[in-house]
Amino acid sequence: GAVVSQHPSWVICKSGTSVKIECRSLDFQATTMFWYRQFPKQSLMLMATSNEGSKATYEQGVEKDKFLINHASLTLSTLTVTSAHPEDSSFYICSAPRIREEQYFGPGTRLTVT
């Protein structure tokens, strides 16, 4: 069964609004989680590393004030897309490393900004 969940699975929002996406590890604790974005027919692009109890580490070119990450507990990380624009429309996926550093992925959230 799934070991990482994401909510919501899809969301449509208006330009200028904010959207929060949750990522949960279901039967294990994750001090680190990763957030990715994937555009159609492209690979996953790592956006940031979410660290429980400390600030997230963002990849070069990712605006930390636009993509707010909060790792509130050992099983929950949230990504908030602030002041969303149509170009933010994408597939957002989270993952958490479990055993042997393998990543377990959430099912993804499809965001459409109109």
Binding site for another protein (CB under 8 A): 32, 34, 36, 42-46, 49, 91, 93, 95, 97, 100-108, 110
Nearer to another protein, 7 or 82 (CB): 7
Q: Which is nearer to another protein, 28 or 105 (CB)?
A: 105
CB of 112 to another protein, least distance (A): 13
- Tokens 């680190």 map to which residue? 32
State whether residue 22 is helix, strand or coil. Answer: strand
Q: At its nearest, how many Å lie between another protein and the CB of residue 65?
A: 22
Q: E-assigned strands of the chain? A: 4-7, 10-13, 19-25, 32-38, 45-51, 57-58, 67-73, 76-81, 90-97, 103-105, 109-113
